[in-house]
Amino acid sequence: MITATGVSWRYGTNPVIDGVSVTARPGRVLGLIGPNGSGKTTLLRLLYGALRSPTGQVVVDADELASLPSREAARRLAVVVQETGGETALTVAELVLLGRGPHLSTFQRTSRTDHEIAARCLARVGAAHLGERAFAQLSGGERQRVLIARALAQEATHLLLDEPTNHLDIRYQHEILHLVRTLGTCAVVVLHDLNLAARYCDDLVLLGAGGVAAAGTTDEVLDPAVLEPVYGIGIRRLDLDDGVHLLFHPIDQPIAQRSAA
């Protein structure tokens, strides 16, 4: 479990996250949603320690994140971020094998077991055929799958992903999020697509105006009355046999403005 209590962050004088509290529970997928600039990625960075909040605290299971040695934190938290570049000279297999680092001592070499784990993780994301390719030569979608494979090879108890479906076609968007959902770990995912959030998240935190606009189960948060003021767009919710689906439309111009036009 990851629990953040009263965390904050500002860039210069601009507060992005202000006194936010969230909980990601074991075996569940927590989605962070909200408009651009609402602080989703900033909050995720606070949850895995890339940023240290000047207020409040982040607790992983029973331990404060700030007190954990880096190797121990890496055994608990696996992270997939957007900005990882393709400039490395490593092959795909070598890059995924780096995920085994937290389980090795300083001078310990990777074992046959480590290589087998890395290979299995590549296969799980549909990228086994890329093993010998140079990571720098991959497409954006291929790179994203490889980075997720590296995180899986880490075998951490918590998985945090910043827009993992970015650059992926529809098939792999669903396959990756289905995989995350079936891992059984505590997962936190930043998502822009609310229909993907509806299908694959158990719980949601809706961010807006520097704070939490709503939090709860996916069914509770994906309420048009909750979403429309935050996103500024009209939303119609359909409750189908296979789950919730949202339709979007521009909010009508006020009558007085239409008449004046």
Give 43: exposed, middle or buried? Use CB within 10 Å, 0-12, 13-18, 19+. Answer: buried
Which of 160, 201, 167 lies closest to 46 in space, CA to CA?
160
What is the percent of the chain with per-residue pLDDT over 70, rounded to a whole number? 95
Mean pLDDT across the chain:
90
Q: Residue 257's pLDDT band (boundaries 50, 70, 90)?
A: very low
Residue 205, pLDDT above cutoff 50? yes
Please give the C-alpha separations between residue 157 and each of 121, 146, 160, in angstroms, as whole numbers: 15, 19, 10
Q: Residue 145's pLDDT band (boundaries 50, 70, 90)?
A: confident
Instruction: State residue 261's pLDDT score.
Output: 42
Across the beta sheet with 77-80, what order do the strands follow?
Answer: 77-80, 158-162, 186-190, 29-33, 203-208, 211-217
Q: How far apart are CA 157 and CA 212, in angstroms?
A: 25
Fold (CATH) for 1-61+157-233: Rossmann fold (3.40.50)
Which alpha helices (H) appear in the chain, and where do they start and end? 40-48, 70-76, 92-97, 112-124, 140-153, 170-182, 194-200, 218-221, 224-231, 255-260
Longest Cα–Cα distance in the chain? 75
CA angle, residues 174, 175, 180, in degrees to nearest 5: 95
Domain borders along the chain are 1-61+157-233, 82-156
**What is the mean pLDDT of the segment spanning 223-233?**
95
* Choice between 222 and 105, residue whose per-residue pLDDT is larger: 222
**3-state SS assignment for residue 133:** coil
Q: Residue 86's pLDDT band (boundaries 50, 70, 90)?
A: low
Asked if residue 32 lies in contact with residue 4, where contact means CB atoms within 8 angstroms, the answer is no
- Beta-carbon-side half-sphere exposure of residue 90 (alpha carbons within 13 Å): 14
